[in-house]
Amino acid sequence: MKLILPKKIYNTDSDGYLPCYDLWDEHFAILCAQQDQFVLTAHHWSIIYFLRKYYNEYQIAPNIVILKKRMKKEWRIYRIADFESLFLSLFPDKKTKGLSIMIRYAGLNLPTVYI
């Protein structure tokens, strides 16, 4: 599969994942979101940047528990119900599907434990 911007082509696998972490840039995330008819908010970008930072350190994407714990702290949301409501609004389909979407937008490979 190819995602194309003027003057830039992203080669991805059949599911839309980049073959290499280093090929990512913000335009890739924007293009993926547009293709999925998805609007990226500041909350989505904070997730994308956290995923990339975590991957850079541990060479694997975090699981949903680690991600939620970090975002809850970063967004300064202390009530679990408030956080869950916000998180679900970011990913109306499913919580774990939301994580795999963000992993793809962040230019990471989907770990086999998520498949």
Give residue-wise pLDDT tens across range 1-57. 666 656 688 889 888 899 989 999 999 999 988 888 888 999 899 999 999 999 999
Give residue-wise pLDDT tens across range 81-94. 888 788 778 876 65
Higher pLDDT, 23 or 68: 23
b/e 62-76 (16+ beta carbons within 10 angstroms → b): beeeebbebbbeeee
Tokens 């793809």, residue located: 104
Tokens 């290499």, residue located: 20
Q: Which domain holds residue 101?
A: 2-114
Number of folded domains in the chain? 1
The CATH number covering residue 13 comes to 1.10.10.370
State how far the Cα of 74 lies from the Cα of 9, in Å rounded to an integer: 33
**Single pTM value for the model:** 0.82
Residue 111 has pLDDT above 70, yes or no: no
State how far the Cα of 9 lies from the Cα of 5, in Å rounded to an integer: 6
